[in-house]
Amino acid sequence: MLGKFRNLRRIELRFDRDCGPPDDPRYEFSETLAFRDRVFRMILQGLDNPSYRATRVDELSIHNLQDMKMETAQSRPGFKTMISQLKALSLSIATEHPGFGVHPHRTRSNLPEIQNFFNNTLPVQWLRPSQNGLTRLALYADTYWGYYPACDLRALRFPCLTDLALGCYTFAHDFQLHWILEHRQTLQSLSLDDCPIMHEIYVPKTSKGSDPLPFDDDQPRLKTDDYVWEYKTRWHHYFTLIRTQLHKLMSFAIGETELDGSTGRTHEIAMTHRSYLGATLAEGRYMRFHDEEYKVAETDPPEDLVVYLDFAAHNAREAERYEEYGEYPDCEEEDQKALDQLMEAVRRRVRNHLVA
C-alpha cells in the first residue's frame, strides 16, 4: 500500500523501450501492453486505497510510456484523481517500430496507434485532467511529433506552468509557438530538445496516411497537383518572439542533448538529461517533411547523382525535386544573432533577480 508512505511525493516508472501491439503472435516483448497496464493499475490501487490514500503525490515521471491507452488502469477513477493533483508530469513516449506491427511498410509516425495517441490519448487522457495544477511539464518521444503525427495543444491552458520541456516536437505553424507564448504570465523555463522547424512540406494526394496539423488558408502553396507548402518562419523569428514576449523567462535551452555514444541517443535518456541541454544551433534545426517522413534538410545541392542507364529518369526526377524544394534556409547569422540576444536577455533577467 503506497499510501502508507506518508511522505511519498514523487513516482517514477521506467518501462522497456521496445513495445508493440497487443495480441500479435509474431513478436514477443518482455513488457507487453497488458503488463504495463497491470503495473500502472497496481500503482494506482496502492495510491487510492481507502485506508491509506497517498494524497501528497504530486510528481509523476514515466519513461517509455507506450503509445496506446492502458485501458484498465486509465479507466479507473483513481487515474484522473492522481493526474489532477500533479504539479509535475514528465512523459517519454515509446512507439512501436513498423516491423513490429501489422503495417510493416509504413513509417513509424504513420502507424494508426501512434496517430491516435498523439491526436487523442495524450491531450485528452494525460494533459487535460492535469492542466490546472501543473507547474512543470516535459514531453518527449522517440519519433518526431507535433506537426505529424498531429498533436494540437491549442485547446489546453496551463495557468500555473513555469517549466516546459519538449523533445522531438516539430514546428510547422506559427500557432504552435503562439501556444507556448500564451503562457507568458508564468513560464520561467523553456527547453526545446531536437525540435526542428519544418521549412518545407510535401504530401502527395495519393498519400493514405493520417492528416498532419491543418494549414491555414494563407499558407504558401508551391504546387497544385500535390500538397506542397513552404513555411517561411525561421528560428530567428522564434527567438525574437520568445525574447520579447516571455518576460519571466529565466532559463532557455535549445539544441540536441549530447549523450554517451556507447548508449546511443534515446528519448528516455534525453528527458533525464534535459537539464544539461545548452543553447546551440544544431544543423537539424530545419527539416523537411516529405510524404510522411522527416528528413534533414540538405545544406548543399547533391554533387553526384549516380547515373545508370536504367536510373536516368529517376535521377532527373530527384534533381528536379531538389530544385523545387530549394535549399537549406540561409539564415545562420540571423539565427545566431537572435539566439545571442535572447540568451543575453535571459542572463540579464537572472542577474536582476539575484540582485533584487
Q: What is the pLDDT of residues 239-297, one digit of tens each?
A: 999 999 999 999 999 998 865 544 444 566 778 778 888 899 998 899 988 777 777 75
User: Can you give the pTM of this predicted structure?
Assistant: 0.85
Query: Does residue 5 register a pLDDT over 80?
Result: no
CA gap 338, 329 in Å, rounded: 15
- pLDDT surpassing 60 at residue 317: no
Q: How confident is the model at residue 303 (pLDDT cuts 50, 70, 90)?
A: very low
For residue 121, the model assigns a pLDDT of 92
At 206, is the pLDDT very low, low, confident or very high (cuts 50, 70, 90)?
low
pLDDT at 34: 86
Question: What's the whole-number mean pLDDT along residues 211-231?
Answer: 59
Which residues have a Cβ under 8 Å from the Cβ of 181 and sit 6 or more positions away? 241, 242, 245, 246
Q: Which residue has the cell 492528416?
A: 211
Percent of the chain exceeding pLDDT 70 equals: 75
Which structural domain, as residue segments, surrounds residue 135?
Answer: 2-355
Domain count, the chain: 1
Mean pLDDT of 221-236: 74
Do the strands 227-230 and 197-203 form a parallel or antiparallel pair, or are they unpaired?
Answer: antiparallel
End-to-end alpha carbon distance in the chain:
46
**Which residues, at least 6 apart from 30, have a Cβ–Cβ distance to it below 8 Å?**
16, 18
Predicted confidence (pLDDT) at residue 87 exceeds the cutoff of 90: yes
Whether the pLDDT of residue 321 is over 50: the answer is: yes
Question: Which pLDDT value is given to residue 210?
Answer: 54
- Arithmetic mean of pLDDT, 134-162: 94
Residue 267 has a pLDDT of 61
